[in-house]
Structure 1
Amino acid sequence: MGSIGPEPIPLGGEITAQTQRKPRFLCLHGFRTSGAIMEKQVIGKWPRHVTSRLDLFFADAPFPAEGTSDVEGIFPPPYYEWFQFSKDFMDYRNFDECLAYIEDLIIKHGPFDGLMGFSQGAILSAALPGLQARGLALTKVPKIKWVVIISGAEFRKPEVAEKAYATKIECPSLHFLGKDDFLRIHGEKLLKSFVDPLVIQHPKGHTVPRLVDENSLETMDAFLSMMESDIAKTLHDSAEEKSPIVECVVSV
């Protein structure tokens, strides 16, 4: 597990762009990879002026890979998986244990503002806000504010889908859709489960894409700026609440 964290916030003084904290994300890697691999995928591909505005914690999934990893020969082991599933993605094993594990990660390493996921991690990241809103997951931790979904999809099992996507998910979201991604159709369907999702299109397949074209960078900047503004407002409101109220007594 690894964390790309912010500089300490100075005590006291005005809240500015230099002193406010960064949006903090728990990052959930893809199937049979690892937190270290996702860190290389994100930090290694996204420009510094993007990653420097985020506080990212890359966690390993709870279960060692039960089979061959697609990244063997590209990234070294160990490899992990969040839960196990059937070929038609209709039956899951260790799913409840996975949700409990993620909640424990948040308790131990949080708080986090949001979730960032790739592939299997993206499927989880997209479903958890809806499950949390219905009191079915992450009941011991603060509400998920934002999600970043890279090569995501919906859960297909009705017992999970009916709960996760019962109503449109309101937390702001950023979705990456690859032109040649085998999950693209499912990722497009997932967009319908969110209120006003932001989308970055890229020409690659099932991968964490580089952010190089102007449109992608503009969309990412808009998402980052939205989060930064929200955090600044929260910090400002909190500071005002803590400011002492000075009463002036006038003697006549």
Structure 2
Amino acid sequence: MLTNSHQQHLASGTSIIERDKRGEEIGNTGKIETKSQILKKPRFLCLHGFRTSSEILQKQLRRWPETVLEKFDLVFLDGPYMAQGKSMVEGFYDPPYYEWFQFTEDVQELYNFEECIAYIEDFMIKHGPFDGLMGFSQGGIISAALPGMQLDGTALTKVPKIKYVIIISGAQLGGSKICLPKLATNAFSSPLKCPSLHIIGETCFFKELGNELVDSFVDPLVINHSKGHTIARLDEKGLKTMLNFIEKIEKI
């Protein structure tokens, strides 16, 4: 899958379905199955962190057990802009690195935010439909705001409704430390009814902002871990919460 001249990838848990001449679907077992026999996996568009990449996010998510990843259909997208400065992951993951939008040092002004949202929507139109959004760090900031923006009619107007989100080390636009772009003026004007899972690190520099974001959703589930601004492995309690969330969204 190509977009913006960057190769896009699917996670190992993504299945490829073939169709036989009778219009029935053939699963990974090779046996012919009717549509009613196939459990549709929640399909997520995954947005990576600031100055990383779709490939890096895939590698980070492999810290989760296969029993979790196999339940998702994950599609990964690179940000529209090449990194315009040093990446925090240099030395850990190879370039290239991308970013979704730019901002001033005090995060009181954002640049290219509207262009970023248009880029994401264009990808969703061409490669959707998607059921949910999964985002880490800067990708989590965008993923958290988009359901409210869609409800307000300022974004994702040409794609199906986003049903749920998974936010990892995210934050709220217009919160205590991040400015609110004009396009997202009403994104959090009322509590979001979109089911959400929030993963927050105890030593993450976004911890306060992540907890602030949790309060913007009506019925959030939260996984806390002892690490920092990263995608951490799931402990026993975190795994239970994750599986509860998956069970919840599979019913939608």
Class of the TM-score when normalised by the shorter of the 2 chains: 0.7 to 0.9
Contact 2:147/2:162 (8 A) holds in 1: yes
Q: Which amino acid aligns with 2:88?
A: D
What does the per-residue CA deviation read over 1:119-149, in whole Å, with 9 as the maximum and x for residues that have no partner?
0000000000001100011111111001000
* Cα RMSD for the two superposed structures: 1.4
Superposed, 1:165-184 pairs within 5 Å as 165-184=188-207
Contact 1:119/1:152 (8 A) holds in 2: yes
The alpha carbon displacement at 1:14 in A equals 6.5
Q: TM-score, normalised by structure 1?
A: 0.86
1:95 corresponds to which of 88, 107, 113: 113
SS at the partner of 2:219? coil
More helix, by proportion: 1
What does the per-residue CA deviation read over 1:18-68, in whole Å, with 9 as the maximum and x for residues that have no partner?
x111000000000000000000000x2000000000000111000000001
The alpha carbon displacement at 1:7 in A equals 4.5
Q: Distance in 1 between matches of 2:39 and 2:132?
A: 17
Q: Distance in 2 between matches of 1:54 and 1:13?
A: 20
Contact 2:113/2:181 (8 A) holds in 1: no
The alpha carbon displacement at 1:88 in A equals 1.4
SS at the partner of 1:175? strand
Q: Distance in 2 between matches of 1:13 and 1:223?
A: 27
Q: Distance in 1 between matches of 2:249 and 2:186?
A: 27
Contact 1:6/1:54 (8 A) holds in 2: no
Q: Which runs of 5+ in 1 are unaligned?
A: 231-252
Q: Distance in 2 between matches of 1:64 and 1:130?
A: 27
Contact 2:195/2:249 (8 A) holds in 1: no
Superposed, 1:104-119 pairs within 5 Å as 104-119=122-137
Q: Which amino acid aligns with 1:195?
A: V
Q: Distance in 2 between matches of 1:162 and 1:215?
A: 36
Q: Distance in 2 between matches of 1:13 and 1:140?
A: 30
Equivalent position of 1:13 in the other structure: 34
Q: Distance in 1 between matches of 2:34 and 2:140?
A: 38
Q: Distance in 1 between matches of 2:36 and 2:218?
A: 30
What stretches of structure 1 move > 4 A for 4+ residues in a row?
A: 9-12
2:9 corresponds to which of 2, 13, 34: 2
Contact 1:65/1:79 (8 A) holds in 2: yes
What does the per-residue CA deviation read over 1:171-191, in whole Å, with 9 as the maximum and x for residues that have no partner?
100000100000000000001
Contact 1:127/1:165 (8 A) holds in 2: yes
SS at the partner of 2:135? strand
1:31 corresponds to which of 35, 50, 71: 50
1:80 aligns with 2:101: no
Q: Distance in 2 between matches of 1:215 and 1:50?
A: 14
Q: Distance in 1 between matches of 2:159 and 2:67?
A: 30
Q: Which amino acid aligns with 1:114?
A: G
Equivalent position of 1:249 in the other structure: none
Contact 1:33/1:69 (8 A) holds in 2: yes
Superposed, 1:1-252 pairs within 5 Å as 1-4=8-11, 5-8=14-17, 9-10=25-26, 13=34, 15-16=36-37, 19-42=38-61, 44-155=62-173, 156-160=178-182, 162-211=185-234, 213-230=235-252
Identity over aligned pairs, percent: 54
Contact 1:6/1:21 (8 A) holds in 2: no
Contact 1:62/1:80 (8 A) holds in 2: yes
Number of corresponding residues: 226
The alpha carbon displacement at 1:12 in A equals 6.2
SS at the partner of 1:77? coil
Q: TM-score, normalised by structure 2?
A: 0.86
